[in-house]
Structure 1
Amino acid sequence: MRFADTRAAARPRLRHRHGHRRRIRALAVLAALACAPGLAAGCRASGPRSAADVGVGQVDPAARSQLPPEILARGLVTIATDPTYPPDEFRQSDGTLVGMDVDLARAVGAKLGVRVQFTQVQFRDILAGVQQGEYDIGVSSITDTTRREELGDFVTYFQAGSSLLVRGGNPLTLYPDDESLCGHRVAAQEGTVEVDPVLSSRSAQCVADGLRPITTVVVAAEADSRAAVLSGRADAMFEDAPIASYETAHSGGQLQTAGDQIDKAPYGFALAKEDKPMDDAILRAMQDLIDDGEYAAILSHWGLTAGRVPAATLDGAIN
């Protein structure tokens, strides 16, 4: 989840494992993530999809007609992404850009009858780059929130929460929804909602309950969180549930998720604020992908069907 809110969030009430405090209502875990790439035998293969496999020949004239004239003239949509979040967006060993978001963006481009061009950008800079006109869209597992909607528009297309990763066997008995994290070191990537509000609000509740705060180990990249846990610099880490499932599947048993995912929220394609033609074009194209089954096929390919939504929405933040 990207672009952390800078204002304080309401503190969650932490659950005491001995029953003395009210439990946070935990959200259901993404069961279908059991079929995330490499997680279990019998799951659908999740290798890269060729651009030729995505949405070819399915131009929606009505959606295309909504595009701004300058985009129609150049026949190209520029997309900012941070490809360090498998299986959503990442690079293979040969540098090929793949992932759920990559496939969805290409399919949207096919609906609009334009080419898509990805630019690798640090996620903390994506939203600002879109608002400043450097890119047409930001597509990078970006969580839509009401505060972010004050700065930009979002076409939502997926649901995901945050997961807590710990060392294999969970030796410190840590969970995301109780007081067990109080006094511990938890890593999260700079600028994500895992830093704020997920960790900041839980740490504040620890203090309010007379316990030690959580020490947030802020890192520059997702891989740094993993390294911090495995090296002992952090006791646990938070990251988006789809990425957490992928990480555990590829950790050789060194990492595992603890408890259920929390704070489930929608992902959105980030767009410039109140750019109605672009909003309408992307919204219609995404809805067409949902209606014609291409959306479901892409999610199934990446083992992410549990995050499926029935309809695309404009500015559909939950909180």
Structure 2
Amino acid sequence: MPTQLSRRGLIRGVTAAAAAATLAPVLAACGGDSEAATTDPAGSVTIGLLSNGAAKETTLKVSEVKSISAQLPAALKKTGKLVIASGTLPAGSAPLGYVGSDQKTLTGCEVDLARLVAAVLGLEPEFQQATWENMFIAIDSGKSDVGFANITVTEERKKKYEFASYRKDDLAFEVRKDSTWNFDDDYENLAGRTVSVGSGTNQEKILLEWKAKLAKEGKNLTVKYYQDNNSLYLALSSGKIDVYLGPSPALSYHAAKTAGTPQATRVAGRFSGAGTTLQGLIAATAKKGSGLAKPLADAINYLIDNGQYAKWLTAWNLSGEAVAKSEVDPPGLPLDNS
């Protein structure tokens, strides 16, 4: 999130009080009512709750699978909690992760999958909200066990983290609805355009490489950054930027929500988050050597095999991003980003 949540497309706002609280880049705990509202000790998890129309509320049966939870590190089993880093500050990113309609509960497709996985592992989910950058610091320091935040698998990140994949990583280009521009699978048609992207994200890395290639051809690509999506979409609406490059789920959601309004937008093309030669993958992310990737992947595969995974995607209108299997440390965005 996002990306922006890969900070990743920050879309939804929160109340003035909540927004003031989230502007600080430090971690913020999101416990109590947040988990209680969506996890039933009897063995069910309600997804899409308080999603403000972004998802169809669905209750799924899921309980601890002891053959999987037995693989967890002893220290984690002792705490009984899975501390989940969510890079959703300052404003959240629907449908990935954002504050729900009660203006306090963290919701979103990434959040709901984390709750489902925690249930399979027999652990209580505890969320730690952070900015995109501080989410990784929390994982590095051990303050958070795992990140569920639209994190792309990259070969660079594999130097520090281990992964359990769970969704395709597709990027999208969003423009004003009256724009005639389309991506058309060719970076050269970005020449002369002003594009916004999230700082520190994989889409930024791809965009900056395209900018460098265009510069060698004597062509210009202007990149602009915004701290929140209110500012970003105001810039898009007013023509200060031509294109926004971000995570496909977030941009598709925004385009659907603005349809029929003066601020209407549309998706003008998609691109794999891993570049031209590899399908990008989104993954649960833990510190390298933590021993968490295997039980996380097994938990996700349990959800795939037993149908909860498909129902989760359907509830959030993300069925097109399904993977057949969760993999531990699958091939990621290459070091040269080609």
Q: Give the TM-score of the pair, scaled to structure 2.
A: 0.75
Partners of 1:144 and 1:268 within 8 A in 2:
yes
Distance 1:174 1:280 in 2: 40
Contact 2:121–2:299 under 8 Å retained in 1: yes
* Counterpart amino acid of residue 100 in structure 1: C
Question: Does the CA-based 8 Å contact 1:81-1:139 persist in structure 2?
Answer: yes
- Residues 1:210 and 1:250: Cα distance change in structure 2 (over 3 Å): same
**Residue 19 of structure 2 corresponds to which residue in structure 1?**
none
Q: Which amino acid aligns with 1:314?
A: V
Pick from 232, 237, 259 the counterpart of residue 269 of structure 2.
259
Q: Is the 8 A contact 1:160 1:242 kept in 2?
A: no
* Aligned residue identity for 2:235: A
AA matched with 1:206: L
Query: Is 1:279 equivalent to 2:297 in the alignment?
Result: no
Contact 1:158–1:268 under 8 Å retained in 2: yes
> Relative to structure 1, is the Cα distance of residues 126 and 167 closer, same or farther in structure 2, using a 3 angstrom cutoff?
same
Tell me, yes or no, if the aligned pair for 2:54 and 2:95 is still in contact at 8 Å.
no
| 1:86 equivalent in alignment to 2:101 | no
Per-residue CA deviations over 1:11-34 (Å, capped at 9, x if unaligned) read xxxxxxxxxxxxxxxxxxxxxxxx
1:223 CA displacement: 4.1
Q: Which residue of 1 aligns with 2:23?
A: none
SS of 1:70's partner is helix
Aligned counterpart for 1:231 among listed residues 238, 246, 249 = 238
Whether 1:169 and 2:174 are equivalent positions in the alignment is no
Aligned residues: 273
**Are positions 1:312 and 2:319 aligned together?**
no
- Return the offset for 1:222: 4.0
1:77 pairs with one of 82, 95, 99: 82
Quote the residue 1:33 is aligned against: none
User: How far off its partner does 1:92 sit?
Assistant: 2.1
For residue 69 of structure 2, what is the amino acid of its counterpart? R
Letter in structure 1 aligned against 2:81:
L
Indicate the residue corresponding to 1:211 in structure 2: 219
Structure 2 residue matching 1:299: 3-state secondary structure = helix
The aligned counterpart of 1:142 is 151
Q: Over residues 131-189 of structure 1, what are the superposed CA-to-partner deviations in whole Å (9 max), with x where a residue is unaligned?
A: 21010111100111111111111111100211111111214x25262422212211111
Q: Aligned partners of 1:224, 1:160: CA distance in 2, in Å? A: 25
Structure 1: 5+ residue stretches without partners: 5-36, 38-43
C-alpha distance in 2, partners of 1:69/1:222? 41
SS state at 1:226 partner:
helix
The CA deviation at 1:54 is 4.1
1:221 aligns with 2:228: yes
Letter in 1 for 2:299: A
Give the gaps of 5 or more residues in structure 2.
7-47, 334-338
What residue in structure 1 maps to residue 27 of structure 2? none
Amino acid at match of 1:88: L
1:133 aligned to which of 131, 142, 150? 142
The structure with higher relative contact order (CA 8 Å, sep 6+) is 1
Q: Secondary structure at the match of 1:230?
A: helix
Deviation at 1:230, TM superposition (A): 1.6
2:110 matches 1:105: no
TM superposition shift of 1:88? 2.0
Residues 317 and 128 from structure 1, CA distance in 2 versus in 1: closer, same or farther, beyond 3 angstroms? farther
Q: CA distance change for structure 1 residues 45 and 234 in 2, over 3 Å: closer, same or farther? A: closer
The reply to whether residue 195 of structure 1 matches residue 200 of structure 2 is no
Distance in 1 separating the partners of 2:179 and 2:271: 16
Output the CA distance in 1 between the equivalents of 2:293 and 2:126. 18
Shift of the 142–210 alpha-carbon distance from structure 1 to 2, 3 Å rule, reads same
Verify the 8 A CA contact 2:166 2:325 in the aligned structure 1.
yes
Shift of 1:93: 2.9
CA–CA distance in 2 between the matches of 1:156 and 1:250?
A: 28
Letter in 2 for 1:92: G
- Aligned to 1:79, what secondary structure does the other structure show? strand
